[in-house]
Amino acid sequence: MRRITGTLALLLGLTALGFTYAAFTASAKESTVATSTSVDAAQVERGQQLYQTSCITCHGANLQGVLDRGPSLVGVGQAAAYFQLATGRMPAVENQAQMPRKEPYFTPTQIDDLAAYIQANGGGPEIPAAGLRDDSQVAMGGELFRLNCASCHNFTGQGGALSQGKYAPSLDPSTDEQIWGAMLSGPENMPKFGDGQLTAQEKAAIVAFIQNNKATIEPGGLPLGGFGPAPEGLIAFLVGMGAIVAATLWMGSRA
């Protein structure tokens, strides 16, 4: 009996150690991508060449789209092109429920060239060059985030599930430009938030809230994914109860 309780206590201790290790080794990657608004003919020319080698198969020779492969890009604008390319979603590997975020395939300069080419053919929303974030409006940004964004992206921007394999991604790796690009273009199943609906000041406030949220030290310790009471209760029950049982076994084995 003593040996069994000792083994159980050891097992619980090792499991707890494993969780602690996993919590401290979770890494966050930062990717910074430059943007440029200076548009010239040479840049559009370079963008067209990149388009014709990498995008034309699915989006068509004249950006009109190809049935069952890719949508038309006429009028999607620089915001959509920048978002899709800078987050690595385009070029896509295959058609699936949703394009996952990955390392960008193109360099920042190439992304700007391609975005300039898309913008030059049909126009569309553009990410402004400056004023992307207003750190003085964190509170207003939080209110707007909870009303417009939190239903899918979660209160702390951790994302969540949608229907049939689709999901709202986590906002942790997103840069200011990428958040703006997503709001302006409404990538995949995300609704669009045009400037008439959320003004530039409101968008800057939302970006400030998201980035402030990421940079804030967790006052409660480990955030456990930021999903709220369900995982916190689960961990409190499993780890807390486990610790109590282990302590009881240990005390019993020493009595």
Partner 1 sequence: MSTDQHAVPDEAELATMSRDEKATAGLAADHVELDEYGPVAVPGSPADKRNERRVATWFLLSGLLGLLFAVAFIWWPNEYVPAYQDGQLAYALYTPIIGATMGGAILFFGIGVVQLARKIFAHEVAIQQRHIGMSAEFDRQTLAAQVLDTVDKSGLKRRGMIKGSLALAGGALGLVAAVPILGALIKNPWAERADSPLWVTPWAPLADGTKVRLTQIDGTPVRPEDLAAGSMATVFPGVPGGAKASDAAVMLFRVRSDQVIRIRDGQQGFQFGDYYAYSKICTHVGCPVSLYEQQTGRVLCPCHQSQFNLYEGMFPVFGPATRPLPQLPIELDDEGYFVAARDFIEAVGPGFWENGKFPAWYSEPKEATG
Alpha-carbon span 49 to 144, nearest angstrom: 40
CB-wise, 188 or 232, nearer to partner 1?
188
Among 138, 205, 207, 249, binds partner 1 (CB under 8 A): 138
**Would you list the DSSP string of 97-152?**
SSPPP---SS-HHHHHHHHHHHHHTT------SS----GGGHHHHHHHHHHHTHHH
The only residue of 15, 31, 54, 148 in contact with partner 1, by rule CB under 8 A? 148
State in angstroms the smallest separation of the CB of 1 from partner 1. 21
| Residue 90 binding partner 1, by CB under 8 A | no
**By C-beta, is 111 or 182 nearer to partner 1?**
182
d(CA 208, CA 193): 17
Q: How far is the CB of 165 from partner 1 (least distance, A)?
A: 11
- Per CB under 8 A, 109 contacts partner 1: no
Beta carbon nearer to partner 1, 110 or 148:
148
Q: Which residues pair with 168 in a beta bridge?
A: 160
Question: Which residues ranging from 158 to 217 are in contact with partner 1 (CB under 8 A)?
Answer: 160, 162-163, 166, 168, 186, 188-194, 196-197, 211-217
Query: Which range, of 10-18, 45-53, 143-151, 229-237, touches partner 1 by CB under 8 A?
Result: 143-151
Other residues' Cβ atoms within 10 Å of the Cβ of residue 147: 10
State yes or no: residue 135 binds partner 1 (CB under 8 A): yes
Residue 28 touching partner 1 (CB under 8 A):
no
CA dihedral 212→218→222→225, nearest 10 degrees, is: -30
CA–chain centroid gap for 192, Å, is: 16
Look-up of token digits 């995300």: 190
Indicate whether 123 belongs to the interface with partner 1 (CB under 8 A). no
Dihedrals phi, psi of 215, to nearest 5 degrees: -85, -10
The size of the interface with partner 1 (CB under 8 A), counted in residues, is: 33
Nearest CA to 201 among 145, 247, 133? 133
7 makes contact with partner 1 (CB under 8 A): no
Query: In the numeric block, which tokens belong to residue 151?
Result: 């239903």
Instruction: Report if residue 39 touches partner 1, rule: CB under 8 A.
Output: no
Q: Which residues bind partner 1 (CB under 8 A)?
A: 135, 138, 143, 147-148, 151-152, 160, 162-163, 166, 168, 186, 188-194, 196-197, 211-221
